């Protein structure tokens, strides 16, 4: 096997650091400048109309997959739907919205539910300097993190309706519109509303935070998952989970109230004492805004009568709002996987003294050039992009922690705007142990046996 090719750029040839795409200076999605567009609206005494996400079928369902009658749909501004539209009414909450009937984007809304817990992150995604007040011009903006860069997404506030009712996500408070506008901005990034149909929770969690994402198949988790979730909650992580697919079709409601093939938000992790024994609980939210678990520790469960009055009043809710508690044991039986996204992976270590650092690299797999295939392709494997990572010696407080002290994540950038037209290639990575550093220019070392994959 030829020697590996290590990506190393001489110092004098390294490109200048690009400061654009940060929260302070986000990239302008589709080259639309929010401030300039808003200024133009005031100057011309008109409300904004977004020509790059028009109010027609191309923005809803260009491939006609949702089965909607487009002739029935009217795009209305909130002021044409209600008399007193507001962006936010009495704060942002996970109970504000319900999923629409025509679009299977529970993965997105489960992430929104997690987002509502973190005010700072919410303010990043939905800048606070906008409303239906005096400076209203029919234009709003949202920020998402896309493949290493923050982008500023501009939309008008025309929303698709049938008979005056929103057809996609809608607020339980009739004059509150932040959920519908956030969904529209994300639909614009995805290409259309229909391009949001079906997806992975991890996509939206990353787009909201730009953070570190970890995914666990619950049945195969090799750690104390409840303790990890408890630490993640304290670290203000965003968490969501998914149920097993049904044998016949998705969204089948089981007798116990759990929906098959459905995404949920993890909204709480708590331990109660029941008959002198500790019980680990998980609180979960259905993005439908209704439909709950009916087993042990559900709203009507008699087990709540066996805990202290304080714990019962703190945790139990009888509202049919889609949120419920269940034991960790039942959680592991009914949910297939869990996604956790946080600005830092510090929660992975049981010691509060541990602090992680991160580094990112960008490269490409090109057919015939750098796409060398997996380890089975011994003659070409070495041509794959390679990166040398040095792990610094751990502090005494962190040494011996489990999991190990390296987390590797691979992300595929989209080559097309419309999300459903993107080809998801099977790209993986191997991590090798290297015995010593390469100091001389051009010097390379053969990798040892893969440490992990």
* Positions marked active-site: 106, 262, 286
Please name the residue that has the structure tokens 């920020």: 143
Radius of gyration of the chain (CA): 24
CA distance 151 to 207: 10
Buried b (16+ CB within 10 A) or exposed e, 277-297: eebbbbbbbbbbbebbbebbb
| 313 φ/ψ angles, rounded to the nearest 5 degrees | -70, -30
For residue 451, give the 3-state DSSP assignment: strand
CA pair distance 197, 35, nearest whole angstrom: 31
The answer, yes or no, to whether the previous bond of 403 is cis (omega within 30 of 0) is: yes
CA distances from 100 to 289, 382, 440 (A): 10, 49, 60
CB of 139 within 8 A of CB of 34? Answer: yes
Supply 266's token pair: 């993890």
Q: If DSSP codes are grouped into helix, strand and coil, which group holds residue 98? A: strand
213 neighbors 202 (Cβ within 8 angstroms): yes
The total of other beta-carbon atoms located within 10 Å of residue 47's CB is: 15
Which tokens go with 345? 């992976």
DSSP code string of 341-365: EES-GGGGSS-TT------------
Short-list 283, 337, 264, CA closest to 107: 264
DSSP secondary structure of 369-397: TT---STT-TTTGGGS-----PPPPPPTT
The residues with which 281 forms a beta bridge, in sequence order, are 270, 327
Tokens at 43, concatenated: 């100057």
Distance CA 351, CA 206 (A): 25
Crossing angle between the packed helical segments 106-115 and 178-190, to the nearest 10 degrees: 130
Q: Which of 418, 407, 415, 409 is nearest to 366 (CA)?
A: 415
């Amino acid at each position: 096997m030829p020697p590996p090719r290590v990506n190393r750029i001489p110092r004098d040839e390294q490109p200048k650091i690009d400061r654009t795409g940060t929260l302070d200076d986000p990239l302008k999605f589709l080259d639309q400048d929010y401030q300039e567009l808003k200024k133009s609206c005031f100057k011309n005494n008109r409300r904004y109309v977004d020509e790059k996400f028009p109010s027609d079928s191309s923005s809803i369902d260009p491939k006609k997959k949702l089965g909607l009658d487009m002739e029935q749909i009217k795009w209305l501004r909130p002021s044409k739907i209600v008399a007193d539209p507001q962006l936010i009414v009495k704060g942002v909450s996970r109970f504000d919205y319900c999923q629409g009937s025509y679009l299977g984007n529970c993965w997105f809304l489960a992430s929104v539910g997690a987002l509502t817990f973190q005010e700072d992150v919410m303010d990043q995604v939905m800048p606070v300097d906008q409303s239906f007040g005096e400076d209203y011009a029919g234009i709003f903006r949202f920020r998402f993190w896309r493949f290493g860069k923050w982008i500023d997404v501009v939309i008008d506030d025309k929303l698709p309706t049938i008979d005056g009712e929103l057809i996609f996500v809608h607020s339980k408070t009739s004059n509150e519109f932040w959920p519908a506008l956030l969904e529209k901005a994300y639909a614009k990034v995805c290409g259309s509303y229909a391009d949001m149909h079906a997806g992975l929770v991890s996509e939206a969690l990353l787009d909201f935070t730009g953070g570190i994402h970890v995914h666990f198949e619950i049945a195969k988790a090799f750690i104390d998952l409840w303790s990890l979730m408890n630490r993640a909650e304290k670290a203000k992580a965003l968490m969501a989970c998914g149920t097993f697919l049904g044998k016949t079709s998705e969204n089948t409601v089981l007798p116990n109230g759990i929906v098959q093939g459905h995404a949920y938000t993890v909204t709480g992790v708590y331990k109660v004492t029941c008959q002198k024994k500790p019980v680990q609980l998980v609180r979960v939210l259905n993005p439908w805004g209704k439909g709950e678990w009916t087993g042990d520790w559900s709203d009507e469960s008699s087990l709540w009568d066996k805990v202290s009055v304080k714990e019962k009043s703190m945790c139990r809710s009888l509202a049919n709002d889609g949120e419920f508690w269940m034991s960790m044991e039942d959680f592991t039986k009914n949910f297939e996987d869990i996604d956790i996204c946080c600005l830092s992976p510090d929660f992975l270590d049981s010691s509060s003294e541990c602090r992680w650092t991160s580094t990112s690299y960008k490269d490409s797999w090109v057919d015939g050039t750098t796409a060398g295939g997996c380890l089975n392709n011994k003659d070409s494997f070495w041509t794959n992009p390679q990166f040398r990572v040095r792990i610094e010696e751990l502090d005494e407080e962190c040494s011996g922690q489990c999991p190990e002290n390296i987390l590797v994540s691979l992300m595929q950038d989209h080559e097309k705007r419309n999300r459903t037209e993107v080809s998801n290639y099977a790209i993986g990575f191997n991590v090798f142990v290297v015995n010593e550093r390469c100091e001389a220019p051009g010097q390379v070392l053969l990798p040892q046996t893969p440490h992990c994959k």
